[in-house]
Structure 1
Amino acid sequence: MENSPNPNWERQALEHLLLENLKETRKARRWKAVLRVLTLLVIVSVVIMVFDFHLPGRGIGVEKHTAMVTLDGEISSSSMANALDINSSLTAAFENENSAGVVMRINSPGGSPVQAGMINDEIHRLRKLYPKKLFYVVVEDICASGGYYVAVAADQILVDKASIVGSIGVIMEGFGFTGLMDKLGVTRRMITAGSNKGMMDPFSKENPQQVDMIKTMIDEIHQQFIAVVKEGRGARLKESADLFSGRVWNGEQAVKIGLADGFGTVDTVARDVFKAPDILDYTMKENFAERVAKRFGAEVGAAAGKSLIKAPDLK
């Protein structure tokens, strides 16, 4: 007898197609859910990188510890070693009741006398506000000029034997292109309101009176620097003819003449002086967005301007 066709084959085929379609739909939904989770993770990662939730004082709940603030690189309003960020970090370090003491790790060739002075003033304010909390400076490779201006506010300055310390002086520098302009037949046209408005213009000949004015100004800043050093170091200084000449010394020599107190590291201060070997870094860090802005932003123009004329620097 010949096999008769299944009368329900159309219905079964339809059910099979619907079932397969349902499976595919569920699979697609699962992949959508996975993609949404991955997208959310990427967004969260980008937000963390951009905003970098790294704030000073994040260790409020940590038990007894040594608070560390790092001053690294040139001191200026446009660098990470700027007074606003450094002072915020110092304030958080002093305010935390669990910090046994504060140590500043310095590796700086100097920079702006204004920014250095603001940091020095804030250290003195915080030391008066928290008189029982010691403040030490540890010098790594270099603590010169503006870096040393900051360091003298400490109870103690510790160095390595090979550290570079000192450079108590002021510099203001620029370039002059008048000789080259004469050779090329180029004439400078500058119109000012005020006889000294074009002072230190690199395309104009030097004006002896203006040079004297600038020399007087940086001499006054130098005397301010000397006064800060004498106030901070006191009787520990062994004054000599070249102490304030702008020269530098290695760490071993710096200890002998009173620019530093001894040898040590952040670890030895935490362990042996503060008796709190756990070190917590309070330094504000540069986030991803700031790094991108500095690389592609107005820093290019600022650098070009600085190459022609610079404000006084403690370097």
Structure 2
Amino acid sequence: MSDDPRRDGIGGHERPADNHSKADRWTQGPDMSTYQSAPEMPGKAGDSAETLRERQRLAQIEMMDRWVGGVLTEQRRSRRWKLFFRLIILFLVLSLIAAVVYSAFWAGSGGAAPMQRHLAIVEVKGVIASDAPANAERIIKGLERAWDSENASAIVLHIDSPGGSPVQSQRIYAEIMRLREQGDKPILAVIEDIGASGAYYIASAADEIIASPASLVGSIGVIYASFGFQDAISQIGIERRVLTAGENKAFLDPFQPLDEGAEAFWESVLTQTHQQFINDVRAGRGDRLSDQSDIFSGLIWSGEQGLELGLVDHLASLEEVARDLVGEASWEDYTPRLDPFDRLTRRFTQMAAETLGLTVSNSPLRYQAQ
């Protein structure tokens, strides 16, 4: 008998090796049944056809359940992301509403006045018009706030404007002259790039006008500009239909010729408005104005030329003015802040009117440099 433990029985046949006694890298390892990707056979040997069909049906149901579960999980994940983005949008909308409300009811009224001496700035930027940021109501409100500030050494109209509406300019001019007559604190006009026409009208009411050598000042005149389309519409076969009560009601209609009588009348309106401009500039500037004849001709001058003509008192910058008056380049802006919602609605209204061909300006006359 052999001593070999692997041999047993007649003939000494070799027994299979014990799996636990010797590791086999091909047979040993993790249980493959744990992997979901290895599908089981729908049946076993000896099962009937009906049993096989039942097992196959159950396997399909199980697979469908797993698919439906995955779809539901993905939908829940998608809903969570949608909810997250909706909350973000809601937060942004509420933040915008809060900013509009704050600007309309708190920020526009101004905070506590600075305790140290300073220049009180009121901005006059862009075209002067009732529907523009540089409108009479806003600028006058800024002037009143600056005037009431006890620590303001002077009020500075910080001007960078080509002019605009005669009526808006006259309203601001009148308010500056009223404050100037009280004599409580000086009112200065500091011109940046341009202070022409209606903007110069406003500046002439100040105690002093200060500009840079290259600033543009003057343009003391009135303008009306339009087009004549009567020949154009006749060439393309368009008939203009206008019904009026009053024979001169449509005398500025660009689709009708301007006859000599209407032109003479309109010239008289321009001349009268121009004379109002001249009289107010003379009242504000007094004897400082030069006797040069073309000073009121509508010409625009540099700051250096304006100094020679008496249109400007000094050549300096805003920083230099602040250092002279308060010892440092420091100032506070008293211009009321613009309501973002109001700016948006005004801009939308203006764009809609321009698209529809409606008149945006309230007056065809302009104190404005071209």
Please state which band the TM-score falls in when normalised by the shorter chain: 0.7 to 0.9
| Structure 1 residue 269 corresponds to structure 2 residue 283 | no
Does 2:177 match 1:177?
Answer: no
The total of aligned residue pairs comes to: 281
Partner residue, 1:107: 160
Q: Label 1:271 to 1:216 Cα distance change in 2 as closer, same or farther (>3 A).
A: same
For 2:164 and 2:189, how far apart are their aligned partners in 1? 18
The correspondence for 1:279, drawn from 331, 352, 359, is 331
Residue matched to 2:98: 47
Comparing 148-157 with 239-248, greater Cα deviation is found at: 239-248
Counterparts of 1:135-154 in structure 2, within 5 Å, are 135-154=187-206
Query: Is the 1:70–1:106 contact (alpha carbons within 8 Å) kept by the matching residues of 2?
Result: yes
Shift of 1:219: 0.2
In the alignment, what sits opposite 1:97?
Answer: 150
Q: Percent identity?
A: 37
Task: Report the structure number with the largest CA radius of gyration.
Answer: 2
Q: 2:111 aligns with which of 33, 55, 58?
A: 58
Distance 2:281 2:155 in 1: 20
Which whole-Å CA distance do the structure 1 matches of 2:360 and 2:138 have between them? Answer: 26
Tell me the alpha carbon deviations over residues 150-201 of structure 1, each in whole angstroms, 9 at most, x when there is no partner: 0001111111111011100000111110011221232222111011111200
Displacement of 1:296: 2.4
Q: CA deviation at 1:275?
A: 4.3
Judge conservation of contact 1:173–1:310 (CA < 8 Å) in 2: no
Higher deviation after alignment, 70-79 or 264-273: 264-273
Mean alpha-carbon deviation: is it higher for 162-171 or for 278-287?
A: 278-287
CA pair 59-281 structure 1, distance change in 2 beyond 3 A: farther
- Whether the aligned pair in 1 keeps the contact of 2:165 and 2:363 (CA below 8 Å) is no
1:189 paired to 2:245: no
Matches within 5 A, 1:183-222: 183-222=235-274
Offset at residue 121 of structure 1 (A): 0.3
The answer to whether the 8 A contact 2:110-2:336 is kept is no
Task: Determine whether 1:161 maps to 2:213.
Answer: yes
Question: Does 2:285 align with 1:225?
Answer: no
Deviates more, 1:214-223 or 1:275-284: 275-284
Structure 1 Cα separation of the partners of residues 318 and 350 of structure 2: 36
1:80 matched to 2:133: yes
Specify the code of the residue in structure 2 equivalent to 1:253.
Q
CA distance in 1, matches of 2:325, 2:118: 12
**CA contact 1:101–1:274 (8 Å) conserved in 2:** no
Distance 1:46 1:153 in 2: 39
Question: In structure 1, what residue type is equivalent to 2:277?
Answer: F
Deviation at 1:235, TM superposition (A): 1.1
- Aligned residue identity for 1:151: A
The 1:271/1:140 distance shift into structure 2, 3 A limit, reads: same
Q: What is the CA-CA distance between 1:276 and the residue it aligns to?
A: 6.4
Q: In 2 relative to 1, CA 48–247 (structure 1 residues): closer, same or farther, beyond 3 Å?
A: same
Which stretch of structure 1 is more off in the superposition, 258-267 or 300-309? 300-309
- Over 3 Å counting, the alpha-carbon distance change for 1:309 and 1:297 in structure 2 is closer
Contact kept, 8 Å, 2:211 with 2:303, in 1: the verdict is yes
Pairwise CA distance, 1:307: 8.2
What are the equivalent positions in structure 2 for 1:234-249 lying under 5 Å apart?
Answer: 234-249=286-301
Structure 1 window deviating more from structure 2 (138-147 vs 270-279): it is: 270-279
1:69 alignment partner AA: V
**1:296–1:255: structure 2 CA closer, same or farther, 3 Å change rule?**
same
Q: State the Cα distance separating 1:306 from its structure 2 match.
A: 4.0
Aligned partner of residue 281 in structure 2, secondary structure:
helix
TM-score after normalising by structure 1: 0.82
**Residue matched to 1:128:** 181
**Match of 1:147, as an amino acid?**
A
Question: Structure 1 residues 38 and 145 mapped into 2: Cα distance closer, same or farther (>3 Å)?
Answer: closer
Instruction: Mark the runs of 5 or more structure 2 residues left unpaired by the alignment.
Output: 1-85
